[in-house]
């Protein structure tokens, strides 16, 4: 849909709906924390920001005469390679996959003993992987600073002349 639609308003609204649906999919796959974040971020804030950008730029996409064949070939090639890569993977939901055997189960068994909180995701996020989260917070701050610097009133070339 996002390919053929010309009105960007519809495209942005559909992308918000996509975020909401993917949040439901995360709930089905047991990732409640992730679903929570995706619903708040994807369907809420990112839609608002995209609409603000659209209001500042254009409403309708221009007709393009770009070649379609080359991107299609590239995308198909990438797809074949990725699917070839999944052939070695364990089945969806398997108990004996390498991802389940080592760290995940260890965290599940030691989190309550170490810190006495039942939400394992919070425990890993804030304590076992505290360094990671510090880094991510700094990344969020840096991206925010970038936006503030870009949009803080310095006018473009056209306005100066």
Site for another protein in 26-65 (CB under 8 A): 26, 29-38, 40-42, 44-46, 48-50, 52-58, 61-62, 64-65
Is residue 24 part of the contact set for another protein (CB under 8 A)? no
Is residue 10 part of the contact set for another protein (CB under 8 A)? no
Provide, rounded to whole angstroms, the least separation between the CB of residue 121 and another protein. Answer: 5
Provide, rounded to whole angstroms, the least separation between the CB of residue 88 and another protein. Answer: 10
Provide, rounded to whole angstroms, the least separation between the CB of residue 39 and another protein. Answer: 9
Tokens of 82: 């990725």
Among 17, 19, 20, 24, contact with another protein (rule: CB under 8 A): 19
Q: Are 136 and 129 in contact (CB under 8 A)?
A: no
Burial string for 113-139 (b: 16+ CB within 10 Å, else e) reads eeeeeeebeebbeeebeeeeeeeeeee
Is residue 17 part of the contact set for another protein (CB under 8 A)? no
Q: Which 127-156 positions form the footprint of another protein (CB under 8 A)?
A: 127, 129-134, 136-141, 143-144, 146-148, 150-152, 155-156
- Within 10 angstroms of residue 18's Cβ, the number of other Cβ atoms is 14
**Among 117, 120, 91, residue whose Cα is nearest residue 105:** 120
Provide, rounded to whole angstroms, the least separation between the CB of residue 43 and another protein. Answer: 10
- Which H or E run contains 9? helix 8-28
Q: Which 97-116 positions form the footprint of another protein (CB under 8 A)?
A: 97, 99-100, 103-105, 107-109, 111-116
- Within 10 angstroms of residue 45's Cβ, the number of other Cβ atoms is 10
């Amino acid at each position: 849909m996002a390919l053929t639609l010309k009105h960007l308003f519809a495209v942005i609204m559909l992308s918000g709906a996509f975020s909401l649906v993917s949040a439901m999919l995360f709930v089905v796959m047991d990732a409640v924390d992730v679903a929570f974040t995706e619903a708040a971020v994807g369907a809420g804030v990112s839609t608002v920001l995209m609409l603000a950008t659209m209001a500042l730029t254009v409403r309708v996409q221009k007709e393009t005469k770009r070649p379609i064949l080359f991107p299609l070939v590239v995308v198909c090639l990438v797809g074949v390679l990725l699917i070839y890569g999944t052939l070695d993977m364990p089945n969806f939901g398997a108990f004996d996959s390498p991802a389940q055997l080592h760290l995940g189960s260890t965290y599940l068994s030691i989190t309550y003993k170490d810190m006495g909180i039942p939400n394992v995701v919070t425990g890993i996020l804030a304590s076992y992987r505290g360094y990671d989260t510090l880094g991510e917070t700094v990344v969020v701050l840096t991206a925010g600073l970038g936006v503030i610097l870009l949009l803080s009133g310095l006018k473009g070339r056209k306005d100066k002349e």
